[in-house]
Amino acid sequence: MNPLQLLKTLTKSGTTAPLGETAFRPGQIVFGKVVSLFPNQVAEVKIGSQKLIAKLEVPLAINDQYWFQVQQGEGEIHLKIAAQDSSNLSDKLPSDLLLKQLGIAATKESRMLLEYAVQNRLSISKEWLHLGTSWLRNLPDQAAGLETMKRMLEKDFPLTKTVFTALVSATNTEHIRSLMERLVDLVKTSTSQSELSGNLLAVLNNLLGKEEDLTSFQPSQPDWRNSEAVGRHLKQLMNTIGLNYESELIQKGNDIGKEADQSSLKPLLLKYLNENPTPEQKQAAEQLLSRITALQLLSSDNGVLQQFVAQIPLSFPQFTTEATIQWNGRKQADGKIDPNYCRILFYLELETIGDTIIDVQIQNRIMTLEIMNERTDLKEISSSLIHSLKDQLRRLDYHLSSYSFSVPSEKQVITENLKNLAIPAIHHTIRGVDLRI
């Protein structure tokens, strides 16, 4: 499991909402069972965990299961059989029959996707099924593809190949730093360097903290003991990657667009792909672009509530690493982040103690802290540092009410594949353990 998957598990953001909380739309296809029958072809139908009263177009039998399609209706839900087998209507309609009725070939991928929809109680559409089948066909990791199709349905993402590819990339365990380093190596091998490829190399090398390529794009290295400096540094890194590129383009117009085109990674990647790079360079650029797009898609702004996800490469004097951060909270009336109520999850690899998850929850500026790591002696080692931590938080007008240390459960186990993840903060090494406050 990669950091993005792990953080999603911890926040349960990937849990399917009960169908009872979802309004059905005309054209949706659902799998349900007839529970009760009433006069005038009205029936109680169970779809997933939801029971609803619906008007049926043909008589059906109690306890039998059918594929239904939601029809347009006024004041009530109308259901019709999505695929009709006149020879034996009371039998559970086979998937192949539904696929035939929808004009979709009954292949391994289409059957797999349809079965997955039933198992996960998804309300699907013909377009979702048709496109998902074609996208799964050439995908090596079809399990990741199925999970991605589910997420696209739940979040109402546009059904495009670009969105699908980007979200699939988020299931890849390869770090964003590795994607950047591979592209740097490939671009350097090009026999002819254009101004664009030179700008791309400069931005990539500066994000990777390579001193030999320092330019005006280089985010200045902060004083890691200064929380405000660290905050500015992280924000600058995220802007350089282009995580906020589209939103700033909308807010500030062409002026910010022209500047970002030269110093922001995402627009540079988009232009680079139009320069006819070699197949290897194109693949590396597309993989990196997909990862950035995935991070943007996984972030959401639903009015009052916000979620923000980022992966940021970091360079320290003795080692390089990256941070995966997920922030969930609400906005204030002025649109700014509310620092009084939020939850922040950090996935990082510290130089000495390895893979670590830090779960920070804040309610009315009262903070609870959970640190998850495979070492069992962290509580004892850190006991002398808690007082200092509380003092530092008090200066920022936060109160640490409780803290705990735990070893990840089997579902949260941190695998050996997850390496080189860290989050910058005040850095001390005390008795062989990294402390970040």
pLDDT tens track, the chain, 437 positions: 566 665 555 554 433 333 334 567 788 888 888 889 888 888 888 887 788 888 877 778 888 788 888 887 666 677 887 765 444 443 445 578 888 888 889 999 999 999 898 888 888 888 999 999 999 998 989 999 999 999 898 888 899 999 999 999 888 878 899 999 999 999 988 777 788 999 999 999 999 988 554 444 555 577 777 777 888 888 899 999 998 888 777 766 665 555 556 789 999 999 999 988 999 999 999 999 999 999 998 887 766 788 888 999 988 878 888 889 998 998 888 877 888 999 999 988 888 888 889 999 999 999 999 999 999 999 998 888 899 889 989 988 999 999 999 987 644 444 333 332 222 222 233 333 333 32
Q: For residue 142, give the amino acid letter.
A: Q
Q: Which of 376, 375, 343, 377 is nearest to 360 (CA)?
A: 343
Give the integer Cα–Cα distance in Å for 278 and 284: 10
| CA distances from residue 57 to 50, 81, 84, 436 in whole angstroms, order as listed | 20, 8, 12, 64
Q: Are strands 320-331 and 433-436 parallel, antiparallel or unpaired?
A: unpaired
64: tokens are 């039998």
- Helix (H) or strand (E) holding 291, with range, is helix 279-298
Question: Could you give all domains of the chain from N- to C-terminal order, each with its CATH number?
Answer: 3-169 (2.40.50.140), 174-298 (no CATH), 299-437 (3.30.750)
Work out the end-to-end distance of the chain between its first and last CA atoms, rounded to an integer number of angstroms: 27
pLDDT of residue 343: 93
pLDDT of residue 49: 75
Give the integer Cα–Cα distance in Å for 183 and 285: 6
Q: For residue 259, give the amino acid letter.
A: E
pLDDT of residue 160: 93
| CA distances from residue 247 to 43, 238, 281, 306 in whole angstroms, order as listed | 47, 13, 28, 14
Question: Can you state the angle between helices 195-207 and 265-272, rounded to 10 degrees?
Answer: 140
